[in-house]
A and B are shown apart, each in its own frame.
Chain A
Amino acid sequence: MLDLAFSEPAPRVISGAREEWELVIGMEVHAQVASQSKLFSGASTTFGAEPNSNVSLVDAAMPGMLPVINEFCVEQAVRTGLGLRAAINLFSQFDRKNYFYPDLPQGYQISQLYHPLVGEGEVLVDLAPGIGRRVRVERIHLEQDAGKSIHDMDPNLSFVDLNRTGVALMEIVSRPDIRSPEEAAAYIAKLRQIMRYLGTCDGNMQNGSLRADVTVSVCRPGAYDRYRESGDFSHLGTRCEIKNMNSMRFIQAAIEYEARRQIALIEDGGKVVQETRLYDPDRGETRSMRSKEEAQDYRYFPCPDLLPLEIEQEWVDAIAASLPELPDARKARFVRDFGMTEYDAGVLSAEVESAAFFEAVAAGRDGKQAAHWGINELFGRLNREGLEIGASPVSAAQLGGVLDLMASGEISGKIAKDLFEILWAEGGDPAEIVAARGMRQVTDSGAIEAAVYEIIAANPAQVEKARANPKVAGWFVGQVMKATGGKANPQAVNAVVLARLGIED
């Protein structure tokens, strides 16, 4: 495994009215498996369908309906586990988590409490070049999603849509190793990136494909280290869980608010009560979910409708053999093979599509040059126009063609930018455009000599100045470039100008 070296940052410290406090954050990320059909039924998972149309009798919990597991979903959870370097449990089991809610027709969620499919793994969270946090993953289990309740369509009624009911989720549970709001966002971003490389989750937070429950507690400096040494949670403060957030911005704001709330409470002589809270983005605060107070007794028991899930090591090995190169390895390879900075490598490997695009451009070409053009010209332009790499008007082959024309000296860097503009607006073959529009760089010394001679002859006063001050020679180069429409090779022009003026290079 290729890895870049990194060091871990200090935790975020918040100064209360009296003392200093550190944050301790754990996360449960619910990632929707990128499957066509649901975990235990053949209904579709397509987002945005007409209400209650992607619902089977199994999802609606009609009497006598039995769940049958979607093998693809199991495979995706195993893939995700392998991508997080986690242990895969060949024996796992499904349990019922019992609670009542209108959008849960079964009255229970099928989940895996006692024997999860995936055991301990880890995520390296990138924070800055050379700085990262290793976050331990406790487990990943498969479970059903619930339906959706809509509260704002009628003053007296809630509307329930069961389309999401029974969709497969991977619940990825971290250890409390995240130490600041920024790290929490970076952790989700990294999970998202890895799962998108693996193709196991589309990572679309807006559509709810990725949601997080966040547990927050605060402790005095040093207490966390004692927890890590001993594994004893009593060194940590009492935690509160903030439920169901699907925005990086809200997650960070909620953690910040919740930490400050707890600190103020403790410093006022109060005690943090372990509870479930909701973040209200309109008010920018968290509040207690009172309805959860007594409902926390989920009365888990093994689901009698499902046999244990037993998988074979050979199957796991085959999945492992099919894993793509993952972000950390790809970034390290970009740094090593193309000599680019870790920052640039991070930008280019951020999305699986952009990394593939870059590799297609860089193949057989100057990697640094490809990185420079990829990041500055193409990605910069895409960002400004709000386009994804998949919608880029300039293909990898076209951008590669531009680089080839520069490498062979046929066009200058300045002309290359013009050519890029033409490709962006009109498309076409770079070499043909250069030939058809006379954009080829003038390297013919006769033509350059003639142009230089003309400018020198027309500007005797400037010639005097240049002989007194060689820096003025640049003015002549500029004039020649202008006269040739930017097509002259600037180095060649410079050499001729200096020679003609009799200035030593």
Chain B
Amino acid sequence: MSEIDIETARRVAHLARIEVAEEALPGLARELSAILTFMEQLGEVDVEGVEPMTSVTPMRLKRRADAVTDGFYPERILANAPDAREGFFAVPKVVE
């Protein structure tokens, strides 16, 4: 049985950039543990020698030719940006 502790829950939330209030963390940890434990039942099935299934239909990865068929609409790309200047997205400063 998987046990997600509060610290792990906090870390996962941070990595996903989801803000979780401190008092909500214990409940979140419990729920994540329950989900993982539920999924772990799959581990009981013996899959020795069984190829992993990647699609429910026998499909080949679709390919396209190398041609420029899209783009050239910066105004559409920037339409939802909270802030855009001179054709760029403008975001709070990120500097290493």
Q: Which residues of A contact B (CB under 8 A)?
A: 35-37, 41-44, 50-60, 68-74, 98, 100-102, 149-151, 153-162, 278, 289, 291, 294-295, 297, 299, 306-310
Most A-side CB within 10 Å, residue of B17, B71, B91: B71
Say yes or no: is B66 at the interface (Cβ < 8 Å to chain A): yes
Q: Is A309 a contact of B61 with CB atoms below 8 Å?
A: yes
Q: Which residue of B lies closest to A159 (CB)?
A: B88
A310 touches B89 (CB 8 A): no
Q: Which residues of B contact A156 (CB under 8 A)?
A: 92-93
The contact sample of 12 A-B pairs, CB cut-off 8 A, is A42-B68, A52-B87, A53-B72, A53-B73, A53-B74, A68-B62, A70-B64, A71-B64, A100-B17, A154-B90, A156-B93, A158-B90
Known A37-B67, A289-B96: A51·B87 in contact at CB below 8 Å: yes
Known contacts A42-B70, A151-B94: does B86 contact A159 (CB below 8 Å)?
A: yes
> Which among A54, A100, A159 has the greatest number of chain B C-beta atoms within 10 A?
A159
* Cross-chain contact B88 with A307 (CB below 8 angstroms): no
Contact of A158 (CB < 8 Å), options: B73, B86, B93: B93
Q: Which 9 A-B pairs have the closest CB atoms?
A: A42-B69, A72-B66, A43-B71, A159-B88, A42-B70, A56-B70, A51-B87, A160-B89, A71-B63
Q: How far is the CB of A48 from chain B (nearest CB, A)?
A: 13
Chain A residues whose CB sits within 8 angstroms of the CB of B90 once the complex forms? 154, 157-160
Interface 9-mer from B19-27, B30-38, B40-48, B52-60: B52-60
Known A71-B64, A289-B96: A102·B72 in contact at CB below 8 Å:
no
Knowing A36-B67, A60-B77, A160-B88 are in contact, say whether A307-B61 is a contact too (CB < 8 A): yes
Smallest CB–CB gap between B49 and chain A, Å? 17
Instruction: List A contacts of B61 (CB < 8 A).
Output: 69, 306-310
Task: Tell me whether A69 and B96 are in contact (CB under 8 A).
Answer: no
Asked whether B1 is an interface residue with its Cβ less than 8 Å from the other chain, the reply is no
Q: Mostly helix, strand, loop or mixed at chain A's interface?
A: loop
Interface size class, chain B = 35 or more
Which chain A residues border B60 with CB–CB below 8 Å? 307, 310
Q: Which residues of B contact A52 (CB under 8 A)?
A: 74, 77-78, 87-89
Q: A35 — which chain B residues lie within 8 A by C-beta?
A: 66
**Interface contact B74-A51, CB-CB below 8 Å:** yes
Given A41-B71, A158-B93, A159-B85, 19 new contacts (CB under 8 A): A36-B66, A42-B64, A44-B72, A52-B77, A52-B87, A68-B63, A69-B64, A70-B64, A71-B65, A72-B66, A154-B85, A157-B92, A158-B92, A161-B89, A289-B96, A291-B96, A299-B15, A307-B61, A307-B62
- Min distance, Cβ A192 to any Cβ of chain B, angstroms: 22
Known: A44-B68, A51-B74. A157 touches B62 (CB 8 A): no
Closest chain-A Cβ to B34's Cβ sits at a distance in Å of 20
B85 to chain A: closest CB distance in Å?
7
Residues in B neighbouring A159, C-beta threshold 8 A: 85-86, 88-91
Bound form: Cα–Cα A466–B38 in Å: 109
CA distance A71 to B92 in the complex (A): 37
Contact present for B55 and A54 (CB under 8 Å): no
B95 within 8 A of A: yes
Taking CB atoms, residues of chain B closer than 8 Å to A150 are 88
Whether B93 and A307, one on each chain, are in contact in the complex, defined by CB atoms closer than 8 angstroms, is no
**How far in angstroms is the closest Cβ of chain B from A75?**
9
Closest to A287 in B: B96
Q: List residues of chain B with CB within 8 A of the CB of A70.
A: 63-66
Q: Collect the chain B residues with CB atoms within 8 Å of residue A157's CB.
A: 83, 85, 90-93
B6 CB, nearest partner CB in chain A, Å: 17
In the complex, the chain A residue whose C-beta lies closest to that of B71 is A43
If A100-B17, A101-B94, A291-B96 touch, does A51 touch B86 (CB 8 Å cutoff)? yes
Cβ-closest chain A residue relative to B84 = A52
B87–A102 touching, CB < 8 Å: no
Q: How far apart are the CA atoms of A102 and B74 in the complex, in Å?
A: 17
Interfacial chain A residues near B11, Cβ < 8 Å = 297
User: With a CB–CB cut-off of 8 A, which chain A residues contact B65?
Assistant: 70-72
Contact of B77 among A42, A151, A162, A278 (CB under 8 A): A162
User: Known: A42-B64, A72-B65. Is A55-B89 also a contact (CB below 8 A)?
Assistant: no
Using Cβ atoms and an 8 Å threshold, which residues of chain B touch A42? 64, 67-71
Chain A residues, CB < 8 A from B62: 68-69, 307
